[in-house]
Amino acid sequence: MENTEWRLRPPANLVSKRAILHWTLRAAIVWTIVVGAQAIHLLIDDGSSTWVRVVALVSLVVAVAHVAVMPRWRYAVHRWETSPEAVYTRSGWINQEWRLAPVSRIQTVDTARGPLQQLLNLSTVTVTTASAAGPVKIENLDASVAARIADELTSTTQATPGDAT
Using the rule CB under 8 A, is 105 a contact of other proteins?
Answer: yes
Give the other-Cβ count within 10 Å of 102's Cβ: 13
* Closer residue to other proteins, CB minimum distance, 98 or 119: 98
Query: Which amino acid, one-letter code, is at 116?
Result: L
Of 121, 131, 155, 160, which lies in the binding site for other proteins, with binding defined by CB under 8 A? 131
Binding segment for other proteins (CB under 8 A), chosen from 41-49, 99-107, 108-116, 117-125, is 99-107
Binding segment for other proteins (CB under 8 A), chosen from 61-69, 79-87, 117-125, 149-157, is 79-87
Using the rule CB under 8 A, is 98 a contact of other proteins?
Answer: yes
Give the other-Cβ count within 10 Å of 157's Cβ: 17
Distance CA 8, CA 12 (A): 12
Of 33, 100, 112, 119, which lies in the binding site for other proteins, with binding defined by CB under 8 A? 100
Of 95, 115, 158, 161, which lies in the binding site for other proteins, with binding defined by CB under 8 A? 95
Of 74, 79, 99, 137, which lies in the binding site for other proteins, with binding defined by CB under 8 A? 99
Provide the minimum distance between the beta carbon of 154 and other proteins in the complex, in angstroms, as a whole number. Answer: 18
Distance CA 105, CA 86 (A): 9
**CB of 124 closer than 8 Å to CB of 111:** yes
Of 14, 39, 86, 147, which lies in the binding site for other proteins, with binding defined by CB under 8 A? 86
Using the rule CB under 8 A, is 50 a contact of other proteins?
Answer: no
Q: Can you give the C-alpha Rg of the chain in angstroms?
A: 21
Strands 96-102 and 13-14: unpaired
Query: Which amino acid, one-letter code, is at 135?
Result: P
CA distances from 24 to 2, 59, 91 (A): 44, 17, 16
User: Where does this chain bind other proteins (CB under 8 A)?
Assistant: 4-9, 11, 81, 83, 85-86, 88, 94-102, 105, 129-134, 136, 163-165
